[in-house]
Amino acid sequence: KLKNGLKSALPAVVSIHVELDSPPVIPPQQPGSPQPDMSRSFGTGFFIDQEGVILTNAHVIQGAKSIIVKNQNGNESLAKIVGVDPVLDLAVLRTSMRSDAILTLEHPVEVSVGDSVYAIGSSFGLPQSVTFGIVSAMHRSISSPLQDFIQTDSAINQGNSGGPLINRDGQLIGVNTMIIGVQGGNNGVGFAIPVSLARNVAEQLLQYGQTKPGRLGVHVQNLSRDMAIALGAQSVQAGVVVSDVAPGSTADAIGLKQRDIITRINNQPVATSAQLAATVYSLREGSSIALRVVRNNKSITLTGSSASSLDVPQNAPAHLLDGVSVVRYEAVDRVGTTVRGLLVQNTMAESPGWLAGLLPGDVIQQIGTVKVRELSDLARVKQTDKPLLIELIRQNKSVFLVLNSQSGVSRSD
Catalytic positions, please?
Answer: 59, 89, 161
Amino acid at 325: S
Taking the C-alpha atoms of residue 293 and residue 283, their distance in angstroms, rounded to an integer, is 19
Tell me how long the chain is: 413
Residue 367's nearest CA partner among 349, 341, 406, 346 is 341
Contact assessment for residue 140 and residue 117, using Cβ atoms and an 8 Å cutoff: no
Taking the C-alpha atoms of residue 143 and residue 149, their distance in angstroms, rounded to an integer, is 11
**3-state secondary structure at position 36:** coil
Residues in CB range of 27: below 8 A, 6 or more apart: 33, 143
What are the E-state strand segments in 202-318?
A: 214-215, 218-222, 240-245, 261-265, 268-269, 288-295, 298-305, 307-308
Residues in CB range of 191: below 8 A, 6 or more apart: 140, 142, 147, 149, 150, 151, 152, 176, 177, 178, 179, 180
Taking the C-alpha atoms of residue 364 and residue 375, their distance in angstroms, rounded to an integer, is 11
Taking the C-alpha atoms of residue 93 and residue 79, their distance in angstroms, rounded to an integer, is 6
Contact assessment for residue 401 and residue 411, using Cβ atoms and an 8 Å cutoff: yes
Q: Measured in whole angstroms, how far is the alpha carbon of residue 59 from the centre of its chain? A: 11
Taking the C-alpha atoms of residue 289 and residue 13, their distance in angstroms, rounded to an integer, is 33
Residues in CB range of 225: below 8 A, 6 or more apart: none
Torsion sign, CA atoms 343, 348, 351, 357: positive
